[in-house]
Amino acid sequence: MIIKPSGVLLSSVAAVLLLTLGLGSLRALAVALPSTVDSILLAVVLGLVVLALYDVWRVYRQPPPSCQRTLAQTLSLGQLSDVSLIFSHSYKRPLRMAYLDHLPDSFQLGQQPIAVTLAPGHSSTSSYPIKPLQRGDFIIAGCSVRLPSPVRLWTAQYFLAQPSRVRVYPDFSRLDSGQRQSSAQWLGQLGAQQQRPRGSGLEFQQLREFRSDDSRWHLDCKASARKQRLIARDYQAERGQPIIFILDCGRAMRRHDGALSHLDHALNACVLVAYSALRQGDAVGLQTFAGPKHIIAPAKGQAQIPVLLNSLYAIQASQDTPNFSAMAKQLLLTQKRRALLIVISTQTENAQSDLIPALQQLNKSHRTLLVNLGEVTLDQLRQQPLHSHAQALLYCAAIDRIQARDQHQQSLISQGIELLDVQPNQLTAKLLKYYLTIKKSGQY
């Protein structure tokens, strides 16, 4: 417990000091004062001292209130969540106090301390929103409360140990709406629309009424003759095909555009695309490189989502340089069946020399997509107005960097590398659109 003088006590002491200085000044000016003035002043000082000592004694005798924290054990990165604190006490009078919850530095929260009034004989609940900005395991150690003394001359601060462990996962908040909606509705909200299937690699699903926009190749003659009306065959994309995310966890993925890093944006997109693929019957797996290695074998079913989340939430970008050749060798050893490989990285004009040979090697056995996360800062510098020499230099540097990046990407495409260049905040929608297009065309 820490006891500090309150504003009331400090104001009272200041008033007594000013009164003493005033009386001293009057005496220095030879102003006659009644003899009882000194006695009254002394009585006021002694009374204030006695009252302050009595009040601090009362503070030491009163027990602190109890506290219980309620919050979800798993939080979604970058999404608001509520924390509730339940306070109760045994005092016979209402209690006005303020509290400050000891949250990790990576949690964004509203203004604290928060004031709350506790009624005698009742528990009071206070809530506040938090937004985690970093993934991983975190401990909320406890809560500090500030209580006024019975006479309001002191403020007592208590630390209430109430440890709570929370895990911050990649953003899974939009998975809940996906469970309550159809695939078309959910994908529409994410900015990705399903397309009509075409081409090969499709499985027969059902017979239905022929529509005017159906291809004549889908007409089922035998069923039409039997039903005496036009009947078409309905197809769906082949199910059970593997899709494997390959995440670069090297130093370039530590770059931030906004509150989240490139790796955070990549993980958020992987979770949502994986959920969509699992809903359509595909198998989803994941591998990381350029840092601690995580290998999740492709599997089907919604039970794969908790497996992915429990493996991804603690992944952090390292200071290592990505070795694409070693990544390709490892993947070819672990994945024999043809799959759709989505390599997510942040490439610059100085990319590693082993990038193109590694992706070309993967392309021989799998369909491989390289996703490059662009730099939002470069586009912002290119579009901002120029008002000074320093801004002009930044603009020229950004243009040079953009031209070098474009040349590097053209080199990748000319070498047969399938490339998706996208801003981090648009990654989910663009990657979903790409996956659905490939899925519906049957061209894994």
- What is the three-state SS of 68-99? EEECCCEEECCCCEEEEEEEECCCCCCEEEEE
Q: What is the DSSP letter of 250?
A: S
Token pair, residue 335, equals: 């994945």
Q: How far is CA 336 from CA 5, 243, 266, 331, 410, in A?
A: 72, 13, 25, 9, 30
Question: Residue 411's closest CA among 345, 353, 337?
Answer: 353
Write down the pLDDT at residue 207: 78
Q: Which segments of the chain have a pLDDT < 70?
A: 176-205, 234-239, 348-352, 378-380, 442-444
Question: Residue 378's closest CA among 362, 350, 397?
Answer: 397
Write down the pLDDT at residue 199: 42
State which H helix or E strand residue 380 sits in.
helix 376-383
Q: Is 438 in contact with 367 (CB distance < 8 Å)?
A: yes
Write down the pLDDT at residue 214: 73
Write down the pLDDT at residue 236: 57
Burial of 444 from C-beta contacts in 10 A (0-12 / 13-18 / 19+): middle
CATH-assigned architecture of domain 239-441: 3-Layer(aba) Sandwich (3.40)
Q: Is 132 in contact with 73 (CB distance < 8 Å)?
A: no
- Phi and psi at residue 320, to the nearest 5°: -80, 160
* Peptide bond just before 150 cis, omega within 30 deg: no
Q: Where in the chain is the domain with CATH 3.40.50.410?
A: 239-441
Give the sheet arrangement for strand 418-422, strand by strand: 295-299, 283-289, 242-248, 340-345, 367-373, 418-422
Q: Where in the chain is the domain with CATH 2.60.40.10?
A: 1-169
68-105 pLDDT tens trace: 999 988 999 989 999 999 988 887 888 888 999 999 88
CATH-assigned architecture of domain 1-169: Sandwich (2.60)
Question: Residue 235's closest CA among 198, 195, 209?
Answer: 198
* Alpha-helical runs (H) found in 193-261: 221-227
- Helix, strand or coil, per DSSP, at residue 282: coil
Write down the pLDDT at residue 176: 59
Token pair, residue 64, equals: 């602190």
